[in-house]
Structure 1
Amino acid sequence: MKFTQIKLALCAGLAAASLMTQPTLAAEYPHKTVKLITHSSPGGGTDVFLRELVKHLSPIMGVTFAVENVRGGAGAKAVAHLANSPADGSIFYGTTPSYINTSLLSKPEKTYEDLDPVVNLFQDPQIVFVRADSPYKTLKDVIEDAKKRPNQVRVGVSTPGSLDRQVMEQLKAETSAEMTIITHDGGGDVMLSVLNGTANVGIGEIAELRGQIDAGKIRLITSYTNQRLKQFPDVPTAKEQGINLVVRKFRGIAGPKGLPKNVVAAWESGIQKVLEAPDFKAWYEKDALVPDYMSQEEYKKFTAEFAEGQKAFFQKYGITTD
């Protein structure tokens, strides 16, 4: 009897010791509050993405997240704010191609090279949309009208350095259709421009459009994807309409340069877990976000290659922010 009691006590002690030697993310992370900044306006794609992410990531990492909109300079102000912040794991930035494009096109004080990529989460399909009562049913309708009425069709995009602005320049070059491009502070503002008639057409992402899609206020007419989105099987791709455009927009996290290894490791672990969280998965699948996890090492390589590709693209099409 005594031997059994001793054995049970020993097992219990070993179990407790095992738990003590397996620290949680909360124990490892050096801050209880972490700020996530975005250049996007409230309601824009990155703003929506970050605010939904933190709901599910907070209990996993054991920290409280605060999302802050730092607007101005097509993302340059947000990048400079992060680059000048301490590299201690207390502040990060929601990345999209815009922060690279703005760096290349406008030569700001701080660029993407002054930040450290941390992790990537998604590829986010680009969507062409119109107001529900618009006469445009397809992207071909838009192009045909633009050819009949040069520069009379107004297309809303987000910042001057955004991927959607870049796509419009490529579309104009591919189709010889002249359209007026209207830039905004973010996707939420693009949607409002389409709704109030300032823009005839907009480019955006499902997450920022979801409310107006469900309300029947806007209509999707094209996706810049290889295949139709399973969530919107009736929306044709640009390729199906004879326009060879496929867009790859990433969504990830960057931090100030020189982040500690334990901070990066905590983010890599936390993001992998949140991508598998059922509630978060239900949200991002509904909004057509495609999981594309990259560790810091992978994301650094991807970012460098993407930037080189953008440089070549801008030179080919003569794109500037003017």
Structure 2
Amino acid sequence: MTRKETSTRTDRRSFLKATGGVAAAAGLAGCTGALQSSSSYPSEQVEMIVPWSAGGGTDRTGRKLANLAGEHMDTEFFVSNQTGGSGSVGFNAIANADPDGYTVGVTTVEICTISHLGIAEVNPEDLTSVMQYNFDPASLTVPEDAPYDTVEEFVQYAKDNPGEISISNSGIGAIWHLSAAGFAQQAGIDVKHVGYDGGAPATKAVLNGEVQATTASAAEVAGQVQDGPLKTLGVFGDERVSIFPDVPTLKEAGYDFTMGAWRGLTVPNDTPDERISQLHDAYKSVYDSDDFKSFMDENGFGTVYRDTEEFSSFMDSEYDRFADIIESLDLN
């Protein structure tokens, strides 16, 4: 399934690419209408909509961005949590906000899955990207005494014992389930997927012997791995993660597969390009700061930067990839 891109978004991407993300005010006269001149922006607070509950990873990273962004733009940023519907309530709130540069969404991987799952219609086409700032790859974690010590041995065991291995996840249709299912398809193995209400109970299920493995972010299993009951065989990223520097990636094990949770920033469609550029530059300055990098590293959040156009293309490719995986799992 390939999603059709609108001419509006295509024109926006071409414009940003050609100008390096900075639009001349004169060229925006036709699309800004009654909006204030660029010299007066920003003249009020910027709301950052977080589609997930307070205290979670998306909320915490969003609040850190908000706290620091005000140092790079002459205004305050504040977070509002608009939750429900696997993120769809918040995503719709972002999409339906006034396109004036005063609403920014902290957008997560679920924007690329929920329409395929039949949860809501909102998808990346309803938003315009600003930048990506995070990627947390899935990790394959098993009991310390499991009869396999590498991804290759795990795959071989699964092939020798089809259907015997059960992999827990944070909920059927959630990113860790899709990561495990995508890897199983790539590796050609037959495994069972068992959904739990979150990453913590999914990890506990491995400890209790209810399942033989789990897929979650490295940060979610770090405590159990470092203390010994569990071991992580591989991470689903392009690079190893800092908290598990000795754990190889799937690519190192011979499987060209990456997947995980990610977070980025979006605005409503038709937000003027110049304001998108100003927002991007402020958030990029935050991303590059020692304060933000330390916060992300100390809390186990991976940092990945994609600019406005790169993030838009990335969301498009993710949307199409998840369509194929979800269709193959008959989840929609």
Both proteins in one fold, TM over 0.5: yes
1:63 aligns with 2:73: no
Would the alpha carbon gap of residues 174 and 79 (structure 1) be closer, same or farther in structure 2, given more than 3 Å must change? same
Counterpart in 2 of 1:77? 89
Would the alpha carbon gap of residues 224 and 257 (structure 1) be closer, same or farther in structure 2, given more than 3 Å must change? same
Counterpart in 2 of 1:177? 189
TM-superposed CA distance for 1:194, in Å, is 4.9
Q: How does 1:231-242 map to 2 (within 5 A)?
A: 231-242=243-254
1:96 aligns with 2:147: no
TM-score, with normalisation over the residues of structure 1?
A: 0.70
Matched letter for residue 83 of structure 1:
A
Q: How does 1:114-193 map to 2 (within 5 A)?
A: 114-130=126-142, 137-140=149-152, 142-144=154-156, 146-147=158-159, 150-158=162-170, 160-183=172-195, 187=199, 190-191=202-203
How many correspondences in the alignment?
292
Counterpart in 1 of 2:44? 31
Would the alpha carbon gap of residues 173 and 224 (structure 1) be closer, same or farther in structure 2, given more than 3 Å must change? same
Conservation of the 8 A alpha-carbon contact between 2:139 and 2:217: yes
TM-superposed CA distance for 1:118, in Å, is 2.3
CA distance in 2, matches of 1:31, 1:199: 51
Matched letter for residue 102 of structure 1:
I
Q: How does 1:135-284 map to 2 (within 5 A)?
A: 137-140=149-152, 142-144=154-156, 146-147=158-159, 150-158=162-170, 160-183=172-195, 187=199, 190-191=202-203, 194=206, 199-209=211-221, 219-229=231-241, 231-247=243-259, 250-261=262-273, 263-284=275-296
TM-superposed CA distance for 1:155, in Å, is 2.0
% of aligned pairs identical? 24
TM-superposed CA distance for 1:275, in Å, is 1.4
Gaps of 5+ in 2: 1-37
Name which of structure 1's ranges 152-161 and 273-282 shifts more when overlaid on structure 2: 152-161
TM-score, with normalisation over the residues of structure 2?
A: 0.69
Conservation of the 8 A alpha-carbon contact between 1:129 and 1:203: yes
Counting helix residues as a fraction of each chain, which structure ranks higher? 1
CA distance in 2, matches of 1:57, 1:212: 35
Conservation of the 8 A alpha-carbon contact between 1:42 and 1:69: no
Instruction: Please give the per-residue CA displacement for 1:6-45, whole angstroms capped at 9, x wherever unaligned.
Output: xxxxxxxxxxxxxxxxxxx9x73343252331347853x4
TM-superposed CA distance for 1:274, in Å, is 0.5
Conservation of the 8 A alpha-carbon contact between 1:37 and 1:91: no
Would the alpha carbon gap of residues 46 and 250 (structure 1) be closer, same or farther in structure 2, given more than 3 Å must change? same
Counterpart in 2 of 1:319? 329
TM-superposed CA distance for 1:214, in Å, is 6.3
Conservation of the 8 A alpha-carbon contact between 1:121 and 1:294: no
TM-superposed CA distance for 1:113, in Å, is 1.9
Counterpart in 2 of 1:8? none
Q: Select the structure of larger CA radius of gyration.
A: 1
CA distance in 1, matches of 2:127, 2:220: 26
Matched letter for residue 194 of structure 2:
I
CA distance in 1, matches of 2:178, 2:58: 18
Would the alpha carbon gap of residues 205 and 90 (structure 1) be closer, same or farther in structure 2, given more than 3 Å must change? farther
Matched letter for residue 279 of structure 2:
W
RMSD value, Cα: 3.8
